[in-house]
Amino acid sequence: MAGCALAGGRGGGPVRLVVDPARLALAAVLAVVSTHTAMNLGGPVGVAVYAVVMACVVLLALPLLTDLLERAPSWVAPTLVVLGLAVLIVGFVHGVPPSWAYPLGAGSDRADALDVGLARLAAGLYPYTGLTYLQNPITPLPGSLVLAAPFWWLTGSSAAQNVFWTAALLPVLCGGWRLRREATVLWLLVVMGCLEAGREYLVGDDLVTSVVPAVAATVWVLHARSPRVLAAAAVALGIATCTRPHLALVVVIVAVAVGLRAGRRRALLVGGVAAATWAVLIVPFLLGGPGRFSPLHVGAKVTGERGVHPAIVVITVVALGLLAAFLRWLRPATDAAVGWCAAAVLFAPTVLSAGLWLLLTGGVWDADLTLGAGAVPFAAWAVAVRDRSPSLARGEEPVALAC
């Protein structure tokens, strides 16, 4: 399906530009969450240029490159993936050059927060009373500790999970272990072309990569057939979303989609098991005292004040009400609809931050527009699953991952 096409009327009538709304939305998400890095690189002009470039790449270059890849020999797609993975690994091992420190904002303590929390847990201590090297509290929810634990244990650094989850996004977009050309080009675009994804990957942030397990768990839940498999998938969904508070809304979206597909009982199973998983992960840490549970301070990113600020309570209630009304109207039953609904709720913190700064200062340049970066994997998946059936209908065959 073309992202942007020229269509002419009969008898040589006027030519009109047909724009794919889904790809346009993806381009907008990629550009907005990358505003901070683009601003550091080129100021307001750099932001505008990057936005235009991303729109052209997603709407024009993506369909063109997909068509070229369809005509290329079967070994080309796996070779591009191998080269992409090689670049990612070299970049992770080599680290950030000193000259890139300013535009990339090097010095993130998100990975350090996970390292400190896991080290304290391994020593039998309460993890959330630790501080990062920037003297910030440990804000990732317990699901983040669970997901990061294997990488911390194997490598000594939670940042190593960025390599794994960035690579894992490819089979998620492809819908399996066999490469599909559209999804392969889309993956390369996200990991190589999104400034925010690249910045986070190099400095150890995880707003993008931490959502990949949630996308994978969502796919598992939506395609689980037996109740036992569905329950196991719901546990995975609970763990994968118990990383940041607003990801709980993804559970609601997925449960509603399951209900529309398979009935109310299965929806209650998904929602109940995922909610119970959240409780199992969080309640033991709350027993040490809510004041010590530092993830409650994450609201400071929006309100500027740590703790459970009244504004956060209002925002939560309003968000749940809007989501309920939105889901009742939209009734998201397809994979693509679920992906866009999830992307919307994960992009909301960027909108809230921009709105707050616009209200207070009259501008958005000081707002943290990266807060909605978690929308990137869901938006990319929504485009991939939407395009998968048309690509097969026109005769595209999947390409084996192995060369």
Residues 316-352: tens digit of each pLDDT: 677 777 788 888 888 898 999 999 999 999 998 888 8
The residue range of the domain holding 126 is 4-400
Residues 230-258: tens digit of each pLDDT: 999 999 999 999 998 889 999 999 999 99
- The H or E element that residue 399 is part of is strand 399-400
Mean pLDDT of 40-61: 91
d(CA 207, CA 168): 15
What's the pLDDT at 2? 52
Q: Which residues pair with 7 in a beta bridge?
A: 16
Q: Is 304 helix (H, G, I), strand (E, B) or coil?
A: coil
Contact 190, 197 (CB under 8 A): yes
d(CA 328, CA 256): 9
Phi and psi dihedrals of 18, rounded to 5? Answer: -105, 115
Strands 15-19 and 4-8: antiparallel
d(CA 174, CA 189): 14
Burial (CB count within 10 angstroms: exposed 0-12, middle 13-18, buried 19+), residue 284: exposed
The confidence band for 104, taking pLDDT boundaries of 50, 70 and 90, is low
Please give the full DSSP string across 342-359, using - where no structure is assigned: HHHHHHHHHHHHHHHHHH
Measured at the CA of 4, the angle between CA 218 and CA 385, to 5 degrees, comes to 15
**Mean predicted lDDT score pLDDT of the chain:** 84
What's the pLDDT at 180? 92
Alpha helices in 8-141 (DSSP H): 21-33, 35-56, 62-71, 76-94, 101-104, 110-122
Contacts of 14 (CB under 8 A, 6+ apart): 8
Domain count, the chain: 1
For residue 16, pLDDT over 60 is answered with no
Least confident of 18-27, 73-82, 242-251: 18-27
Q: Which residue's entry shows tokens 């978690």?
A: 374
For residue 108, pLDDT over 80 is answered with no
d(CA 313, CA 325): 19
For residue 14, pLDDT over 90 is answered with no
d(CA 187, CA 172): 10
What's the pLDDT at 5? 53
What's the pLDDT at 106? 53
What's the pLDDT at 40? 85
The confidence band for 18, taking pLDDT boundaries of 50, 70 and 90, is low
Phi and psi dihedrals of 401, rounded to 5? Answer: -70, -35
What's the pLDDT at 246? 87
